[in-house]
Chains A and B, each alone.
Chain A
Amino acid sequence: MKTGLTVETKNLTKRYGNFTAVNHLNLDIKAGESYGFLGPNGAGKTTTLMMLLGILKPTEGEVRISGELVSSDAFNTKGLIGFVPENQSFYEEMSAWEYLMFFAKLYQTERPKERGQEILEHLDLWAWRDVLISGYSNGMKRKLGFARATIHSPDLLVLDEPIAGLDPLGIIQIRELLMAEQERGCTLLISSHILSEVEKTVNRVGIISKGKMVWQDTMENLQQWVTEKQHITITLSSVDNEIIAGFRSLPFVQEVISEGNSLCLVMDQAGDYREDISRFILQKNLILLEMKEEKTTLEEAFVNITENNVQDLTGETER
């Protein structure tokens, strides 16, 4: 069983001229944890990962991996990290096997041939091992990137948009590989702009928007937060401001969003308010055409968090 590496950033900041890509980011990932690093495109995820891996130098702040400051000559720490970038590049003139064995040697992997065979077989690439990488499809190259990143059984696996470009079977294979690594005690850091992609793999998430951390909690708490409000959409024969104000005055209604003759009523999860709503409609002599309960998905919650509704962790409201 591995111990896994910890990742800690303090006020990590990256500026390009006047543009701040990452703004005083504080991350604290525990050993053996599976952490989802989420955010929309351009939020600063890849820049953060590049600083974690020592490829980019922070403008301000620091990165420590298992207590050691990240630098290009931190051989011991770097030798324990596996990285799958979003855009992968290979030595295309090599065969997959030569490529894997080169990295196994570089990382001083124990029993490289057995390990290489195990991974390639799991990813259905074993039969293709002697084919030049230039002949591989994009999906096969992505899988080979995973094989390279895990050949040395890393203690920290950093993945940037890991399943982009993979077919459903490939996604399952990668998920199994990640779970196996996690069971071994490896720390996982998965960056993605798709929440559902990491939902099944991670146990804690950090959501970044415009370079700032706006949400950091366990996956369980995020799901609970998503489901703590219920949305009921009603369609009436006609809607005016007086009707909207009437619904707003109901004690259990927190927010009313109108769109044409439809009203979306946002309420807490304390009870079933459908009966109360029906009674109110009858009292006001309104004609109800439709009533349905809307479930908020994690994706919608993610959009809400990153776009407007949530106070970020620094206390400023992103609007």
Chain B
Amino acid sequence: MKPRDNLMTYQSKTKARLHAINVLQQRNSRSKLWGLGVFLTMSVAMGVSSILVGNVIKFSKANILLSSKQPLLVPILVNGVLLSLYLALLASAGISKEYDKGTLETLMVGPVDEISFVIGNFLAHLKVFGLTLLAALGWSYLCIWLLNFSPRPDIIALLFANLFMASELIAFGVLTAVWGGKTKNALIYFILIILFLSGIQLANSVVASIVQIENAHVGNSLILVRNVLTTTNRFIQWISPYSQVRYAMQSILDQRYFAYLLSMGLMVLQTALLLIGSVLSLKKKGVRGIV
């Protein structure tokens, strides 16, 4: 084949792949928006965020001072965390259901390959999250208007950080779906990994506080446990989208914009790695779980 033919084949494949991605993401996002789940989770997330804002107001009235430079950031973060977790679970369950039911086979017989399937599903969930972000933006500006807060660009910056956090979590959901194959397995993998990572972070803070309080009386073994947990926790903080978005939020508050961009970059990189992993796993595992 001549180099020119190679280029044409590549171009035509890319065009066909983009078309498949677009059709798949449209169908999947539409089916998610037809369900009540997204709207229910969005309502719960906004309810929780509103309670948090209410608490800030109560505290400010009681102490005659504002407890935070930007009182809306934490509620927006909580809103993003809840919705991204829900959409990641939805991605994991939705894709593994395609495996379970055999609809994946029907798709892959046609003009769909592993890349277009993974990216199409990923984009569909990210698109839904993007729509919930618009609602969160509306909610934020309603709070600003009602409570007379100052409209700062920090909110937009945090909403962007939320989008990157969600993208990483959704990509993680896609990967667990491909690993699990069956819906039940995929959800178990997803929940166990999240619990394991959160458990280490929790254990680290508990052990660290014990060591700090009982400083003079702790044994070597507890110090060793603390050191192992601290090292593991440092690694988890690098890969955890929640840690990254918290770091991004702190960077916004401290006006450290390079650190903010670094967090975003890290989340993009991790999302890309998770998606590549999903495509390779799907290729290796095959549509029927056997190749």
Binding site for B on A (CB under 8 A): 16, 50, 53-57, 72-73, 75-76, 78-79, 81, 83, 85, 87-91, 93-94, 102-103, 105-108, 148
Contacts and interface: CB of A to CB of B under 8 A. Distances in A.
Interface string B16-36: 110110011001000100100
B99 to A, nearest CB: 11
Contacts of B290: 16, 56
Contacts of B256: none
Interface of B: 12-13, 16-17, 19-20, 23-24, 27, 31, 34, 101-103, 105-115, 283, 286-288, 290-291
A87 B12 contact: no
9 contacts: A55-B108, A56-B286, A73-B113, A76-B16, A79-B110, A88-B102, A94-B31, A102-B23, A107-B110
B109 to A, nearest CB: 5
Contacts of B19: 108
B108 A75 contact: no
B110 A106 contact: yes
Given A85-B105, A89-B105, A102-B27, A72 B113 contact: yes
Contacts of A16: 290
Given A73-B13, A108-B19, A55 B105 contact: yes
B291 A56 contact: yes
B23 A57 contact: no
A220 B291 CA distance: 37
Contacts of B23: 102, 105-106
A275 to B, nearest CB: 59
Given A81-B110, A83-B109, A106-B111, 4 more contacts: A89-B105, A90-B103, A107-B110, A148-B106
Contacts of B27: 102
Nearest to A91: B103
A166 B105 CA distance: 22
Nearest to A73: B113
Contact of B106 (A50, A78, A89): A89
Given A55-B105, A108-B19, A103 B110 contact: yes
Nearest to A55: B287
Contacts of A108: 19, 111
B16 A79 contact: yes
A73 to B, nearest CB: 4
A47 to B, nearest CB: 10
B288 A79 contact: no
Contacts of A83: 106, 109
Give the one of B17, B113, B288 with max A CB within 10 A.
Answer: B113
B110 A89 contact: no
A229 to B, nearest CB: 42
Contact of B17 (A54, A55, A75, A81): A75
Given A56-B290, A102-B23, A72 B114 contact: yes
Contacts of A76: 12, 16
Contacts of B283: 72
